[in-house]
Amino acid sequence: MGWIPSRQLECWAILPGTFPGTTESAMRPRSLDEFLTKNRVPYTTFRHAPAFTAMHAAAIAHVRGSSWAKTVVCVTEGEVVLAVLPAHYTIEFDRLRELAGASALRLATEREIAELYPDCEEGTTPPFGGLYLQRVFVEECFVGDPEMVFKAGTHTDCIRMHYGDFVDIAKPVVGRFSSPRRES
């Protein structure tokens, strides 16, 4: 567990490496651990049963959906950008496109994501653009929150850190580009 005690974070129990119904456990990307250690950022890690959506992961990890940060990979004209928003929010693409100063914006394809993040399982990209030389946009509703939790490259590994520490290393553009999901 990589943790620097400058800001106290609640410690989580570390669950076993495998879960019922699984035969092996994917490893958190070494590049992510190295990036966080190099940047001397306090964080805690924890594991949960496999989850494939942000809302499901937040629920089984007992984290409020507003604190669970999902990372959405988007593409503008020749640039990959990461959008970081709460688990229960959806992107308003026109707003994100304007914030990015782009004339076009789309979701990255599964193939593009696999090529861009070969050390991560599909759908588990961490929100650190500096790790991949990409700009990061964070939903302004996170500003001032004491913590955020996000996937750490696998469907079972998570990182919890203070929002201020996230800003220090991700250097995101903060804006309003998403809204809470509407139930139909």
**5 falls within a domain:** no
- The pLDDT confidence band at residue 11, using thresholds 50, 70 and 90, is very low
- Domain with residue 165: its CATH number is 3.90.960.10
Q: Does any domain span residue 22?
A: no
Tell me the range of 34-38, 64-68, 174-178 where mean pLDDT is highest.
Answer: 174-178
> Is 152 inside a domain boundary?
yes
Which of the four pLDDT bands, split at 50, 70 and 90, describes residue 33?
confident
Is residue 129 situated within a structural domain? yes
Tell whether 68 is covered by a domain. yes
Q: Is residue 10 part of a domain?
A: no
- 16-20, 26-30, 47-51, 169-173: the lowest-pLDDT one: 16-20
Residue 101 forms part of a structural domain: yes
Does the reported pTM lie above 0.85? no
Q: Percent of the chain at pLDDT above 90?
A: 53
26 Cα distance to chain centroid: 17
What is the tally of structural domains in the chain? 1
Residue type, 180: P
Domain range for 88: 30-175
Please list the residues that pair with 148 across neighbouring strands: 161
